[in-house]
């Protein structure tokens, strides 16, 4: 059915958490250090790092370490998996709603002739 089911599962699992979505929104503006990303959240750094690791494991972000500073950046190519899946779902549902619209708006005499 889908070429990337495990990858999609990992991506959607990562996106399921509001903290991780907020991190991705911030990284959408450009790279940031883990310290900068953690600042708005009221959690201990080890707890925040679990979110960073989940995003990194899903492939949505990449991190690099220089000395004691870890910098994160978004990995835009991973979002293409989501886009392909959503496009396929959109096509399916648009087809279904088009058929429903045709059924609902069909002339009553056409419905009886079936």
Q: Of 90, 85, 89, which Cα lies nearest the Cα of 12?
A: 85
Mean pLDDT of the chain: 86
Range of the domain at 45: 5-112
Calpha distance 80→78 (Å, rounded): 5
If one counts the domains in the chain, the total is: 1
- Sheet containing 69-74: give its strands across: 32-33, 69-74, 61-66
User: Between 78 and 33, where is the model more confident?
Assistant: 33
Alpha carbon distances (Å) from 92 to 24, 85, 89, 95: 28, 11, 5, 5
pLDDT band at 22 (very low <50, low <70, confident <90, very high): very high
pLDDT for 63-111, tens place per residue? Answer: 999 999 999 999 998 888 888 888 887 877 776 676 676 777 876 666 5
Q: Which two tokens stand for residue 104?
A: 């609902």
pTM, 2 dp: 0.73
Give me the helix-helix angle, 5-15 and 18-27, nearest 10°: 100
CATH number (domain holding residue 13)? 1.10.10.10
């Amino acid at each position: 059915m889908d070429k990337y089911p495990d990858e999609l599962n990992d991506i959607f699992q990562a996106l399921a958490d509001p903290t991780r979505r907020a991190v991705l929104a911030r990284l959408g503006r450009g790279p940031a250090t883990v310290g900068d990303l953690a600042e708005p959240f009221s959690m201990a750094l080890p707890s925040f790092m679990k979110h960073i690791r989940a995003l990194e494991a899903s492939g949505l972000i990449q991190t690099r370490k220089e000395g004691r500073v870890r910098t994160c950046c978004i990995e835009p190519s991973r979002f293409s998996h989501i886009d392909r899946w959503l496009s396929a779902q959109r096509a399916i549902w648009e087809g279904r709603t088009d058929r429903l619209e045709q059924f609902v708006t069909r002339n009553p005499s056409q419905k009886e002739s079936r």
